[in-house]
Amino acid sequence: MSFLLRAVRRLATVPLVRKLTSVTPLLRLSYSLRATLVQERARFVRNELRRGPVTGTYHLRESGIGVAIRHHTGDVMVLDEIFSQREYEPPPGIDLRDVGRAVDLGANIGLFGAWLLGRCREAEVVAYEADPANAAVHRLTIEVNGLEDRWRLVEAFAATQDGTTSFTTGLHAVSHEGEGMEVRVVDVLPYLADADLVKVDIEGAEWPILADSRFRELQARLVVLEYHAEGSPQLDAAAAAGQALTDAAYEVHHAVRKPAFGAGLLWGVRR
């Protein structure tokens, strides 16, 4: 079935097929193939093919960790990116089993936390997510796993100083700072001090954090960063992100590149 998913992804890049995916029933059928990533396959397919939207809870096939997914949304594609395409696969030789504390900036519905806990069962995760709808699903994921004591969600926008900001909600994985509701802002730099792993995916709001002098004093062994062209101090966002990690004494490993979205993924490994 993993071969079938790869074939579907390749076909989706063909112009004619890409047009067909705009047909809702075909899109729902394509999304339903991600049922192979969870133990409750039949229920996943039913929920994806039903007429109305629904939030379902499942257990990942490879680890048994529970996840919550909003069907008929981009949540299914994030599930695919992390657990099928394995976008967060660390560089060769990097072992995540000894990660004691991880901080997840831009935690969305908790799929990165679920991925990490599948690799490192004893890790403590502190997650920051500003979109209330995403946070509600994230809390459901935490509850499904019964990990309220080791997996903490902070409903706030990650930045370099406390306050409030306007935030565009309801865009699922790409909700971002902009016109919309007012949300709490937290200066996250002090909370990164004792982290073993820091994950950053905050839709362009990463640049002020990367530019802060306190980031260059970060002691985390690992940083995984999704950079975005929006807000980049250089035309080449990948180079700017890599330089920020280098300046903080990290060895940079380029992972996934997403030129169509002006984004990409880097790992920083403490030298």
Residue 115 domain boundaries: 73-270
In tens digits, the chain (271 residues) has pLDDT values of 555 555 545 544 545 444 444 556 777 788 899 999 999 999 999 999 998 889 999 999 999 999 999 999 999 999 999 999 999 999 999 989 889 999 999 999 999 999 999 999 999 999 999 999 999 999 999 999 999 999 999 999 999 999 999 877 766 555 566 677 889 999 999 999 999 999 999 999 999 999 999 999 999 999 999 999 999 999 999 999 999 999 999 999 999 999 888 999 999 999 8
Largest CA distance in the chain: 51
Beta strand spans in 83-229 (E): 101-105, 124-128, 151-154, 157-159, 163-168, 176-177, 181-187, 197-200, 222-228
Burial class (CB in 10 A: 0-12, 13-18, 19+), 17: middle
For residue 230, tell me if it sits in a domain: yes
Domain annotation covers residue 133: yes
* Number of domains the chain contains: 1
b/e sequence 95-112, b meaning 16+ C-beta within 10 Å = ebeebebbbbbbbbbbbb
- Give every CB contact of residue 216 below 8 A, 6+ residues apart in sequence: 247, 248, 249
CATH of the domain at 218: 3.40.50.150
Residue 250 lies in a domain: yes
Within-domain flag for 56: no
In single-letter form, the type of residue at position 231 comes to: G
Residue 199 lies in a domain: yes
What percent of the chain lies above the pLDDT cut of 90? 77
Rounded distance between C-alpha atoms, residue 218 and residue 270, angstroms: 10
In this structure, is residue 14 part of a structural domain?
A: no
The reply to whether 105 falls in a domain is yes
On whether the pTM is more than 0.85, the answer is: yes
Angle between helices 41-49 and 24-32 (to 10 degrees): 170
Cα four-point dihedral sign 101, 104, 109, 115: negative
Tens digit of each residue's pLDDT (9 = 90 or more) over 46-95: 999 998 889 999 999 999 999 999 999 999 999 999 999 999 999 999 98
Report yes or no on 1 lying in a domain.
no
Collapsing DSSP states into helix, strand and coil, what is residue 49? Answer: helix
